[in-house]
């Protein structure tokens, strides 16, 4: 049984405006007509994240952790392993979440960037040695690298995003790693969950998309879980 969400989002319904300088983020809360360019929307969201006081970032990260754990606790069979990620400085901090997951006996795997924008996966531990990636501005754990076959044993993948629109489409950082990796999961029963702040939920069309973009299955914010319905 899948977890029932605290809210569900149907394609075409408004998201939550609130990022100045983006469609749907004007000070009066009214979405603009044209989708924002990815470059401009990314810049606005990154600026808003950098301006967030550290105490608020910590509070939101703790709330996000609680929301994710609540979602996983409702799933059956009992979750034994998940895939997630080590957050960058301008992303919601996933360190409390990863630590809490391991504390509950859940095996956690995080991505490692490879050449040609490919991803491998390494098991994460609280005391894991982290090194700077050769291919992206992120820290990655040292360990055995696994391929997509790992997802035969994993039913939930938590991924980063800058924004999610009301159709479930994701605005990423622009590196293209997940764009190349996610289609490889088409034959695996994996739920893909994006982690963002509440104000980064945008109306459908709030940012430019490409024909090959596929929606995530759900988005989790500090306020809770939202599923996307077909």
pLDDT of residue 138: 87
Considering the entire predicted model, what is its pTM?
Answer: 0.85
Mean model confidence pLDDT for the chain = 86
pLDDT confidence of residue 84: 98
Supply the pLDDT for residue 5.
Answer: 41
Task: Identify the pLDDT of residue 198.
Answer: 96
Find out whether 45 and 163 touch, Cβ atoms under 8 Å.
Answer: yes
**Is the pLDDT reported for residue 202 higher than 70?**
yes
| Per-residue pLDDT at 2 | 39
Instruction: Place 16 in a pLDDT band, splitting at 50, 70 and 90.
Output: very low
Confidence class for position 18, pLDDT limits 50, 70, 90: low
Give mean pLDDT, residues 104-130.
Answer: 96
Check: CB of residue 124 under 8 Å from CB of residue 110: yes
Interval 96-122 mean pLDDT: 96
Q: Is the pLDDT of residue 132 over 90?
A: yes
CATH number of 7-228: 3.40.50.10420
Asked whether 166 and 14 are in contact (CB, 8 A), the reply is yes
pLDDT above 70 covers what percent of the chain? Answer: 84
């Amino acid at each position: 049984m899948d977890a029932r969400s605290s809210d569900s989002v149907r394609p075409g319904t408004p998201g939550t405006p609130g990022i100045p300088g983006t469609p749907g983020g004007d000070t009066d809360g009214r979405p603009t007509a044209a989708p924002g360019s990815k470059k401009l929307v990314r810049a606005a969201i990154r600026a808003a994240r950098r301006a967030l006081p550290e105490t608020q970032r910590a509070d939101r990260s703790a709330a996000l952790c609680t929301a994710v754990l609540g979602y996983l606790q409702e799933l059956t069979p009992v979750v034994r392993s998940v895939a997630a990620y080590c957050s960058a400085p301008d992303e919601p901090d996933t360190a409390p979440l990863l630590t809490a997951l391991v504390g509950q006996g859940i095996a956690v795997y995080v991505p490692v960037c490879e050449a040609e924008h490919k991803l491998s996966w390494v098991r994460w531990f609280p005391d894991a040695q982290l090194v700077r990636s050769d291919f992206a501005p992120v820290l990655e754990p040292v360990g055995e690298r696994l391929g997509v076959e790992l997802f035969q044993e994993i039913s939930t993948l938590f991924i980063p995003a800058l924004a999610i629109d009301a159709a479930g489409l994701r605005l990423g950082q622009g590196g293209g790693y997940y764009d190349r990796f996610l289609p490889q999961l088409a034959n695996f029963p994996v739920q893909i969950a994006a982690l963002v702040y509440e104000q980064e939920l945008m109306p459908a069309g709030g940012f430019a998309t490409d024909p090959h973009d596929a929606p995530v299955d759900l988005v989790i914010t500090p306020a809770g879980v939202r599923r996307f319905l077909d």
